[in-house]
Amino acid sequence: MAATLIDGKAIAREIREGLKARCAALAARGVTPGLAVVLVGEDAASQIYVRNKERACKATGIRSVAVRLPADTTQEALEDKIRALNDDATVDGILVQLPLPAGLDERRVLALIRPEKDVDGFHVQSMGALVTGAAGFLSCTPKGCLELIRRTGVPLAGKEAVVVGRSNIVGKPMALLLLRENATVTVCHSRTADLAAHTRRADILVAAVGRPGMITGDMIKPGAVVIDVGINRLEDGRVVGDVDFASAEPVAGFLTPVPGGVGPMTIAMLLENTLESAEKRA
C-alpha cells in the first residue's frame, strides 16, 4: 500500500492561521511582534530563504526588520549590529541566516544573541536547554519535523527512531527531541558503517544529509514514518529530497513530499517562536 503523504504545506497553513489570530490579539494590546532577519553577503539560496521568511512575517502580522550587510562586513561590525538588536525592545526575535561568509566566526555571532530572542534556537544556551530538558527555543526545522510526526498519530514512546545527519541545525537537535519523546534514537552520519542496517530498523526515519535520493525504498522498514528534510536542487532545476520518493512511497507508511513537506513547517515554527517571544514581552 502506498504511503500516506504528510501535507506539510497544509499543516503549516493551518498553524499560520492560528498564529495570525494570536498576533491580532497581541496587536489589540498594543504589541507588534518583531523579527530581525540578518543576512550577510549575497548567497543566492540564502537570499531566497530570507525573502520567504520576511514575506511570511508580513502575512502573519509580524514586523520584519531586514538587516542586509555586505559580504566584507567585519566581525566587529556584525557583532555591534547584534548587540543593537539585543537592546532594541521592539525586536522579539533575531535570526542570523547561515552560512555566514568565510572569515566570520559563526559561533561567536550566535553566542551573542540574547537567548530570549534566539528564535532559531542555535545559541548554546538554547541547545543546552534541549539537552537538559530546560525551557528554551527549539530550532525550527526539528520542531517542525516533530509536529509532522505527531500529526500522523503514531506514538513515539518506545519506537526506534533513526536520524541520518548530525548537523547542529537539524540532526543533533532532532535526535534530542525524539529522545525527549521517549523514542530509542540512533544518529547515523557519513562515517556510519552499513547505513541501511540502521535505517531498516527505523519506525521513524528522519533524513537530513543534503544528498539527493540517498535513502531508497529498500532502506526503509515497511510502514515507517519517513521525514525528508533534504532540499536539493538538481542541475535540471528540479528540487528533490534526501529520500528517493519513487522507491520510498510504496514502502513507507507516512512520507513527507519535497517540496511541500518539512520546508513550510520551518517557517511556521520560526513565526511561532517569534510570537512566543513577543507574548512574553507583552
Residue of 81, 92, 97, 118 marked active site? 97
Q: Please report how close the Cβ of residue 36 comes to ligand GUN at its closest, in angstroms.
A: 11
Sequence ranges of the binding site: 165-167, 231
Is residue 169 a contact point for ligand GUN (CB under 6 A)?
A: yes
Single out the residue of 5, 66, 69, 98 in contact with ligand GUN (rule: CB under 6 A): 98
Q: Are 8 and 267 spatial neighbours (Cβ–Cβ below 8 Å)? A: no
Sites for ligand GUN among residues 114-143 (CB under 6 A): 120, 140-141
Identify whether 120 is a catalytic site residue: yes
For helices 140-152 and 8-28, angle between their N-to-C axes, nearest 10 degrees: 120
Q: Please report how close the Cβ of residue 186 comes to ligand GUN at its closest, in angstroms.
A: 23
Residue 52 has a CB neighbour count (10 Å cut-off) of: 14
Sequence ranges of the binding site for NADP(+): 165-167, 231
Q: Please report how close the Cβ of residue 97 comes to ligand GUN at its closest, in angstroms.
A: 5
Residue of 53, 117, 159, 221 marked active site? 53
Q: Please report how close the Cβ of residue 233 comes to ligand GUN at its closest, in angstroms.
A: 14
Of 253 and 264, which CB lies nearer to ligand GUN in the complex structure?
264
Residue 174 has a CB neighbour count (10 Å cut-off) of: 28
Is residue 242 a contact point for ligand GUN (CB under 6 A)?
A: no
Of 141 and 273, which CB lies nearer to ligand GUN in the complex structure?
141
Q: How far apart are CA 46 and CA 49, in angstroms?
A: 5
Q: In sequence order, what DSSP letters do the residues of 161-207 get, joined into one string?
A: EEEE---TTTHHHHHHHHHHTT-EEEEE-TT-SSHHHHHTT-SEEEE
Q: How far apart are CA 26 and CA 28, in angstroms?
A: 5
**Piece of 73-81, 89-97, 101-109, 271-279 that binds ligand GUN (CB under 6 A):** 89-97
Residue nearest to ligand GUN (CB): 98
Single out the residue of 3, 12, 56, 95 in contact with ligand GUN (rule: CB under 6 A): 95
Selection from 174, 229, 178, 222 nearest residue 200 by Cα: 222
Our measurement of the distance from residue 160's CA atom to the centroid of its chain's CA atoms, rounded to an integer in Å, reads 22
Residue of 118, 120, 203, 244 marked active site? 120
Half-sphere exposure of 156 (CA within 13 A, CB side): 23
User: SS3 string of 53-89?
Assistant: HHHHHHHHCCEEEEEEECCCCCHHHHHHHHHHHHHCC
Please give the positions annotated as active site: 53, 97, 120
Q: Which residues would be at the binding site for ligand GUN (CB under 6 A)?
A: 95-98, 120, 140-141, 169, 266
